[in-house]
């Protein structure tokens, strides 16, 4: 059931980046995962939430692993992966 809504916000839009800012701080601030009671509710949130990248995932996914992988592709500017895995 795709009721896990994952959002990514561009760091420059949601936080002040300094030389001391860590990747962990960026990931914790820029990624948000919300579990909805049903796919319809998740889809409504997805349709009405402005962010840089977002997607709906199955609720049983290892979200921390998925976010780490997504972050690596964002850092590498891997647009092909981002377009295939975010919508």
**Residue burial 10-23, b: 16+ Cβ < 10 Å; e: rest:** ebeeeeeeeeeeee
pTM above 0.75, yes or no: yes
- With beta carbons less than 8 A apart as the criterion, state whether 28 and 71 touch: no
Structural domain of residue 59, as residue ranges?
2-85
Residue-wise pLDDT tens digits, 66-81: 999 999 999 999 999 9
How distant, in Å, are the alpha carbons of 4, 26, 84 from that of 53? 14, 15, 11
pLDDT tens per residue, range 15-63: 999 999 999 999 999 999 999 999 999 999 999 999 999 999 999 999 9
Which of 24, 34, 20 is closest to 63 using CA atoms? 34
Domain count, the chain: 1
Rounded Cα–Cα distance for residues 31 and 39 (Å):
20
pLDDT of residue 1: 84
Query: Quick one: pLDDT band at residue 87, thresholds 50, 70, 90?
Result: confident
For residue 83, the model assigns a pLDDT of: 95
Helix, coil or strand: residue 26: helix
């Amino acid at each position: 059931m795709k009721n896990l809504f994952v959002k990514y916000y561009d760091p420059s839009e949601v936080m002040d980046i300094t030389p001391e800012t860590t990747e962990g701080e960026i990931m914790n601030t820029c990624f948000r995962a919300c579990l909805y009671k049903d796919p319809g509710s998740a889809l409504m949130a997805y349709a009405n939430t402005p962010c840089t990248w977002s997607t709906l995932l199955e609720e049983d996914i290892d979200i921390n692993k998925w976010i780490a992988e997504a972050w690596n592709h964002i850092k590498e500017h891997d647009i092909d992966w981002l377009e295939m895995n975010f919508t």
